[in-house]
């Protein structure tokens, strides 16, 4: 499927048929998500994968009872990792392993620290969570490329999710993406004309 076909046929699936996606296909999807772009390449995301029926059932009331949660195969809970200090430790290690010259590493880290120091905690978390949405874009288009359906969802209660999934405090559930095989049909794409967008 070429990319135009992917973006035309992907849609926010409202109900899945419950069929389980093979693990090999999910691994391909994880790889597409892993390779996402992020600011400086900092990758401030952790993705909790929920497959067991009992947990999906428990998360449903915390998701305004939306049918996607229980009917999907894999529920990907995209969390923003808000522990910037911890992220920078991992980031430095990754760059060292990648043979990036140490002066380049130090310059990058200083730039990130400088930028983030001028932000409030709220602004910092907003900056980090923006990166998570890019990974989510890879997930929804990547799923379609693999013959899967998905739905990006913000309609859930993040603090309830944290409790049910026992997430550490620095991981903030930001967006959830159920993945599976659709049991509904696509609606017409309602989008603005190009001349309203490209100004
Ligand atoms: C950030 C975000 C949050 C969304 N939250 C929900 C949601 O909670 N439930 C839902 O059914 N759809 C949700 N959607 C899907 C949108 O309603 C959908 O993408 C939009 O109407 C365009 O339709 P399409 O994706 O089918 O082309 C969300 C989409 C985005 C990007």
- For 95-153, what is each residue's pLDDT tens digit? 999 999 999 999 999 999 999 999 999 999 999 999 999 999 999 999 999 999 999 99
- At residue 174 the predicted structure's pLDDT band, cuts being 50, 70 and 90, is very high
State the closest ligand 1 atom to the C-alpha of 186, by its place in the atom list counted from 1.
26
Angle of CA points 30, 34, 39, to nearest 5°: 150
| φ, ψ (nearest 5 deg) of residue 89 | -65, -50
**What is d(CA 107, CA 102) in angstroms, rounded to the nearest whole number?**
9
Q: 152 C-alpha to center of ligand 1: Å?
A: 6
Domains and CATH numbers, the chain: 3-183 (3.40.109.10)
Q: Which of 70, 152, 184 to mutate to test the pocket of ligand 1 (most atoms within 8 A of CB)?
A: 152
Identify which of 130, 45, 36 has the alpha carbon closest to the alpha carbon of residue 87.
45
Contact indicator for 22, 51 with CB cutoff of 8 Å: no
Single pTM value for the model: 0.97
Mind listing the pLDDT tens digit for each residue in 39-86? Answer: 999 999 999 999 999 999 999 999 999 999 999 999 999 999 999 999
Contact indicator for 71, 17 with CB cutoff of 8 Å: yes
Q: 188 C-alpha to center of ligand 1: Å?
A: 14
Residue with the smallest CA separation from ligand 1 atom 5 is 153
On the question of pLDDT at 1 being above 90, the answer is no
Q: What's the pLDDT score for residue 186? A: 97
């Amino acid at each position: 499927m070429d990319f135009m076909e992917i973006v035309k046929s992907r849609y926010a699936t409202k109900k899945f048929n419950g069929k389980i996606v093979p693990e090999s296909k999910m691994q391909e999807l994880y790889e597409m998500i892993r390779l996402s772009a992020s600011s400086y390449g900092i990758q401030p995301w952790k993705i909790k994968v929920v497959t067991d029926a009992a947990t999906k059932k428990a998360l449903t009331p915390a998701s305004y009872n939306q049918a996607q949660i229980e009917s999907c195969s894999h529920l990907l809970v995209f969390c923003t990792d808000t522990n910037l200090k911890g992220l920078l430790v991992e980031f430095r290690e990754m760059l060292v392993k990648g043979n990036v010259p140490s002066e380049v590493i130090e310059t990058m880290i200083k730039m990130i620290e400088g930028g983030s120091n001028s932000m409030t905690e709220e602004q910092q978390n907003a900056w980090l969570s923006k990166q998570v949405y890019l990974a989510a874009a890879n997930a929804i288009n990547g799923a379609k490329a693999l013959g899967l359906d998905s739905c990006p969802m913000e309609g859930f209660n993040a603090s309830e999710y944290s409790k049910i999934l026992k997430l550490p405090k620095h991981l903030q559930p930001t967006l959830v993406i159920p993945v599976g095989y659709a049991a509904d049909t696509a609606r017409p794409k309602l989008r603005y004309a190009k001349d309203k967008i490209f100004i």
